[in-house]
Every structure is written in C-alpha cells, then in structure tokens.
Structure 1
Amino acid sequence: MAQAPKPIASPVPEAWYPSMAALMLVFGLVFTASFFIYEATSSRKNRSIAKELTTGALASVFLGFGSLFLLLATGVYV
C-alpha cells in the first residue's frame, strides 16, 4: 500500500515571517547605504571591484529575502 504524501511545510515557522522580513530588510538597506557611501566618497583610482561586488551582492540577497518574507507575512504566498 502506498503511503499518503506529507504536506509541504515551510522550514521557517510562520510566526517568524514579520521579524525575518524586518531584520533582512534593515540589513539590506544598511548594505545598500554602505555601497552608496563607498561609491560617493572614494575616488575612481581607489575603488575595489571586489568590495563593490561583495557589498552589492549582500545588499541584493538581504533585500530579496526580506521582500519575500514581507510578502509571506502579509499573506501573499509566492
């Protein structure tokens, strides 16, 4: 006899969605601000492509997951 399939469940409890959204969005905005400040205050000769890519990637990841958890917290299941 075949067993009934298990329902799909989130690895993160639903009660954590608002907190995760706020935390990740704050971190993403901090990295974004850091990126803009770095670009505005450093000269063209002193810029590091590794620092720019790292900061931009971290900002992108945190803002992306923060947006996802914000949508999940408001009931928009994506």
Structure 2
Amino acid sequence: MAPKPIGSPIPDSLYPTLSVFLLAIGLIVTASFFIYEATSSRKNRSLVKELTTGAVASVFLGFGSLFLLIASGVYV
C-alpha cells in the first residue's frame, strides 16, 4: 500500500483571497485596539479586553501573513 501525499485542506487558488481577508480583519481589529487605547482613560481600561483584542489581531495578522507568503511562492 503506497502512502498518500500530504496535501493542503485549502485549495491553492484560495490563498490570495484568504490572505487578503485575514489581513483585512487583522488590520480592522488592530485599528479598533488603537482607537480603544486612544479614547479610553487610564481608569476605564481593561487589561482583559486589551489582551484579547491584541491576541485576536495577532492571530489574524499572523495567518494572513502566512497565506500571503505562501501565495507569493515563499514556502515556509
């Protein structure tokens, strides 16, 4: 029995579209983080909200960058 080659669960043709959407969502969440930091006073800030917003933005920007690199031919 021959082993099956490892393949991506996502078609290669969707990588550019996926990277644009993930990067756009990450940039929107990052912008909301900066707006929250600029408009809230020091007394009203929440560490949990800051950490979750930063983590969500980081995940979307990280995966968006990964798919952008793969779509442009840089296999990481």
Query: For this structure pair, what is the TM-score category when the shorter chain's length is used for normalisation?
Result: over 0.9
Aligned residues: 76
Specify the alignment match of 2:24 in structure 1: 26
Q: Which runs of 5+ in 1 are unaligned?
A: none
Separation in 2, partners of 1:61, 1:24:
9
Match of 2:35 among 22, 37, 48: 37
The Cα RMSD (Å) is 0.6
Counting aligned pairs with the same residue, the percent is: 72
TM, length-normalised to structure 2: 0.96
* Larger gyration radius, structure 1 or structure 2: 1
Counterpart for residue 47 of structure 1:
45
Moved over 2 A (4+): none
Gap regions ≥5 residues in structure 2? none
